[in-house]
Amino acid sequence: MHTRLIALTVCLLACGVWSWGAEKNPGKNPVGGSENEQATLDFVNAHHAELGKLLAKLKKNQQPQYADALKELSRTRERLERMQQKQPERYELELAIWKLDSTIRLVVAQSVTRPDDHDRERLVSLIEERDALRLQLLQFDQVRLQERLKRIQEQIDKQQSGDGAVAAASEADRLTAEVRTKSRTMKTAVKRQRPADQQDEPAEKTAPQKSDEPGK
């Protein structure tokens, strides 16, 4: 595969792979530094080895295109890593979609210079597989939204079924009690922090003064 095709392939991947589920307005996210670059390359090699090989060739021959592609891949890696921590189930689907979408772009780029009926059949099959995963992802989101709507409805029902005046009075009592407790705690803490000579002490009794006048 010659250099121009490598550049075309990686550009197609970088421009198209993240359209599904990509972050809007991601802001500045420079690749910056060998640590970030290596983490991104490790991610690519682990999940799409063929793309990793293309990146290695692109780095050797076309640095500007390599930097652009790596920046996009870095964004994808960071997005998926955050998702892995917060939503492991969704992460598995998103990662599988990314891998398929990445492979689709690769097949499309390769077909530019070597049209082949087998490649077209493979492309159609890959698209069908990816779309099936997209449907699963939408259904996953639908279930989560339904659960959230159910919780919201339960809160609405609770608010509507209760006695508003009684609930308001109860909350007012609770808030007042909390403030009083905190106030007493703060006063005690301040008093303990005072130096010993500033602590409140009972006033000392003063002895009556003797008169200097004679006969008194």
- pLDDT number for residue 201: 54
Q: What angle do CA 96, 27, 43 make, to 5 degrees?
A: 30
Distance CA 44, CA 47 (A): 5
CA 161 to chain CA centroid, Å, is 37
d(CA 213, CA 200): 38
Distance CA 101, CA 83 (A): 18
> Tokens in use for 204?
């000392």
Non-local (6+) Cβ contacts of 75 within 8 A are: 18, 22, 23, 26, 29
Question: 52-71 in b/e burial notation, b at 16+ Cβ within 10 A?
Answer: bebbebbbeebeebbebbbb
Q: What is the pLDDT of residue 23?
A: 47
> For residue 136, with 0-12 CB atoms within 10 Å meaning exposed, 13-18 middle and 19 or more buried, which class applies?
middle
Radius of gyration of the chain (CA): 35
pLDDT in tens, 65-110: 888 888 989 999 999 999 999 999 999 999 999 999 989 988 888 7
Domain boundaries, the chain: 3-19+29-152
Q: Per residue in 154-207, pLDDT tens?
A: 989 888 887 778 888 888 999 999 999 988 888 887 777 766 555 555 555 555
| pLDDT at site 116 | 75
Average per-residue pLDDT in the chain? Answer: 79
Read off the pLDDT of each residue in 129-146 and give the average, rounded to a whole number. Answer: 96
**Residue 139: other Cβ atoms inside 10 A:** 11
The SS3 of residue 151 is helix
The CA distance from 183 to 131, in Å, is 60
